[in-house]
Amino acid sequence: MSETVRGVIARSKGAPVEIVDVVVPDPGPHDVIVRVQACGVCHTDLHYREGGINDEFPFLLGHEAAGVVETVGDAVTHVAEGDFVILNWRAVCGECRACKRGRPWYCFTSHNASKKMTLADGTELSPALGIGAFIDKTLVHEGQCTKVDPETDPAVAGLLGCGVMAGIGAAMNTGNVARGDTVAVIGCGGVGDAAIAGARLAGAKTIIAIDRDDRKLAWATEFGATHTVNASTDDVVTRIKELTDSFGADVVIDAVGRPETWKQAFYGRDLAGTVVLVGVPTPDMGLDMPLVDLFSHGGALKSSWYGDCLPERDFPMLIDLYHQGRLPLERFVTERITLDQVERAFDAMHAGAVLRSVVVL
Ligand SMILES: NC(=O)c1ccc[n+]([C@@H]2O[C@H](COP(=O)([O-])OP(=O)(O)OC[C@H]3O[C@@H](n4cnc5c(N)ncnc54)[C@H](O)[C@@H]3O)[C@@H](O)[C@H]2O)c1
Ligand SMILES: [Zn+2]
Ligand SMILES: [Zn+2]
């Protein structure tokens, strides 16, 4: 029997989000219903609301979540009722070309629920990143549930489900930051600060935090930045060079995702270094630069989707590091809010007042 619960949707481009009744169908054979306990507000939710991802409105927003498995489909073996899980948007299939080549973080056919959640009138919802977790209960594929230590605060655990994992992985997996490296991170929101924390875990010796907002730079220091640069007053490339013996950084991570920040990352990088783009550009953005500069600078230009993570490998490991006091995940939670405060949380994000607002249910 389907169930009706409260969920937060973006009905049309740019319109404020609304709380509405959402019908959650019975799980299909490999589906699971998860009672959501906490879900962080990510910049990607705002990109969806603004039509920056695609036009498949209405969206059911929210995707950085943790909760408890409530009901499982007939064929589910991966989790059981009562399990504490982080939801992920990379439930690797094991069958596609990427999976078979041993690169499952590029999986083309990551699993999602077999049925759609709908509005009361039957209109199908597009769940953000195949999850949709600003809702009392959500329907996902069993592979989208990763079991972690149940002694973890859901508001903290859920953040690994997207932005924090994307940032840590951008440094550790995509950027391959190694002991003694110099690293610069442009944009110190939740994703950028997670990249800073990841760079510290990997043993970087210099970590340069770059943002336009001094509050963000102060927080970045708490995650491990050794130097800070205010991009609204200083020339970013010049400062990175000054702080790296004029070489440029070994790894520069763009956690904003705009042409100007990507160019700063490119020119602030050591010749043989790596640029990692983890911030998400919008479709209207382009890049115009001399091709010869790309040739003459060498090195690697990479994009990082979800930090090239494998949830089953990485989430439990990072939760363990958190419990050992080596990864301050709790510092990402700036405020705890209710389901009706998501729109306000977008304003707070815009104002730079938060790293993460987390909806607690
Ligand atoms: N690739 C992925 O898998 C993935 C996953 C999650 C989020 N993201 C993306 O990462 C980006 C960051 O997400 P977030 O949640 O940290 O957002 P956020 O809004 O919390 O943080 C962005 C930060 O960038 C700073 N900033 C903006 N413009 C800047 C500029 N020109 N120079 C320097 N700093 C600037 C802001 O002050 C802010 O601190 C977003 O584009 C989001 O969609 C990507
Ligand atoms: Zn696959
Ligand atoms: Zn996200």
Count up the domains in the chain and report the number: 2
What is the DSSP-derived secondary structure letter of residue 63?
A: -
Q: Both 156 and 234 in a single domain?
A: no
Q: Which ligand is nearest to the CA of 98?
A: 2
- At residue 254, the pLDDT reads 98
CA dist., res. 218 & res. 215, Å (int): 5
Is 288 in the same domain as 187?
yes
Distance 310 CA to ligand 2 centre (A): 12
Flag whether 142 is in a domain: yes
Residue 191 CA to ligand 3 center (angstroms) comes to 9
CA distance 346 to 250: 33
The predicted structure's pLDDT at residue 194? 98
Q: Residue 150: is the preceding peptide bond cis (ω within 30°)? A: no
Q: What is the DSSP string of 118-153?
A: EETT-PBPEEGGGT--SBSEEEEEGGGEEE--TTS-
Ligand 1 atom closest to the Cα of residue 304 is: 1
For residue 156, the model assigns a pLDDT of 98
Q: Tens of pLDDT along the chain (361 residues)? A: 899 999 999 999 999 999 999 999 999 999 999 999 999 999 999 999 999 899 999 999 999 999 999 999 999 999 999 999 999 999 999 999 999 999 999 999 999 999 999 999 999 999 999 999 999 999 999 999 999 999 999 999 999 999 999 999 999 999 999 999 999 999 999 999 999 999 999 999 999 999 999 999 999 999 999 999 999 999 999 999 999 999 999 999 999 999 999 999 999 999 999 999 999 998 899 999 999 999 999 899 999 999 999 999 999 999 999 999 999 999 999 999 999 999 999 999 999 899 999 999 9
Query: Does ligand 1 have an atom closer than 6 angstroms to the CB of 309?
Result: no
- Assess whether 17 and 45 both reside in one domain: yes
Burial class (CB in 10 A: 0-12, 13-18, 19+), 327: buried
Q: Is 187 in the pocket of ligand 1 (CB under 6 A)?
A: yes
Identify whether 248 is part of a domain.
Answer: yes
Q: Does residue 3 line the site of ligand 1, with CB under 6 A?
A: no
Measured by CA distance, the residue closest to atom 38 of ligand 1 is: 189
Query: Which atom of ligand 1 is closest in space to residue 280's alpha carbon?
Result: 41
Q: Are 241 and 249 in contact (CB under 8 A)?
A: no
Q: How far apart are CA 194 and CA 45, in angstroms?
A: 18
- Whether 150 and 187 share a structural domain: no
Residues composing the chain? 361
Report whether residue 279 contacts ligand 1, using a CB cutoff of 6 Å: yes
Nearest CA to ligand 1 atom 15: 43
Considering the domain architecture, whether residues 185 and 246 belong to the same structural domain is answered as yes
Block residue for tokens 């760079």:
199
Q: Is 261 domain-assigned? A: yes
47 lines ligand 1 (CB under 6 A): yes
For CA atoms 340, 342, 344, 345, give the dihedral sign. Answer: positive
Here the CATH number for the domain that contains residue 130 is 3.90.180.10
Angle between helices 259-267 and 236-243 (to 10 degrees): 30
Report yes or no on 312 lying in a domain. no
Task: Give pLDDT, residue 283.
Answer: 87
In a domain, 23, yes or no: yes
Residues 88 and 173 in one domain: no
CATH number of the domain encompassing residue 194: 3.40.50.720
CB 32 within 8 A of CB 65: no
Same domain flag for 189 and 262: yes
Quick one: 139 and 150 in the same domain? yes
- Is ligand 1 within 6 A of the CB of residue 305? yes
Q: Identity (one letter) of the amino acid at 242?
A: E
The pLDDT value recorded for residue 282 is: 87
Summarize pLDDT for 260-319 with one digit per residue, the tens.
999 999 999 999 999 999 999 988 999 999 999 999 998 999 999 999 999 999 999 999
Q: Could you tell me if residue 141 is inside a domain?
A: yes
- Rounded distance from Cα 256 to ligand 1 centre (Å): 4
Rounded CA separation 330/260 (Å): 31
Planar angle of CA 104, 62, 159, nearest 5 degrees: 65
Q: Which atom of ligand 1 is nearest to the CA of 213?
A: 37
Mean pLDDT, rounded, of the chain = 97
Q: Which whole-number Å values give the CA distances from 233 to 144, 212, 248, in the listed order? A: 43, 8, 19
- The pLDDT of residue 16: 96
Q: How far apart are CA 131 and CA 121, in angstroms?
A: 21
Q: Which of 329, 251, 263, 316 is nearest to 293 (CA)?
A: 263
Task: Judge if 197 and 124 occupy the same domain.
Answer: no
Closest CA to 359 of 88, 136, 168, 48: 136
Residue 237 main-chain phi, psi, to 5 deg? -65, -45
Instruction: Look at residue 170 and give its three-state secondary structure.
Output: helix
- Looking at all shown ligands, the one closest to residue 357's CA atom is 1
Please tell me whether residue 106 adopts helix, strand or coil conformation. helix
Using an 8 Å Cβ cutoff, are 251 and 202 in contact?
no
CA–CA distance, 131 with 287 (Å, rounded to integer): 31
Find, among 277, 273, 244, the residue nearest to 260 by Cα. 277
Q: Is the CB of 190 under 6 A from ligand 1?
A: yes
192 in ligand 1 pocket by Cβ < 6 Å? Answer: yes
Does 284 lie in the same domain as 157? no
- Looking at the fold, whether 143 and 71 belong to one and the same domain comes out as yes
- 23 CA distance to ligand 3 middle (Å): 23
186 and 148 belong to one structural domain = no
CA of residue 227 to ligand 2 center, whole Å: 40
Structural domain boundaries enclosing 251: 164-305
For residue 353, give the 3-state DSSP assignment: coil
Give the SS3 label for residue 338.
coil
Judge whether 38 and 360 are in contact, CB under 8 Å. yes
Could you tell me if residue 122 is inside a domain?
A: yes
pLDDT tens for residues 93-121?
Answer: 999 999 999 999 999 999 999 999 999 99
Would you say residue 313 lies in a domain? no
Give 166's contacts (C-beta < 8 A, 6+ positions apart): 191, 194, 278, 304, 305, 306, 307, 309
Tokens, residue 175 = 């950027």
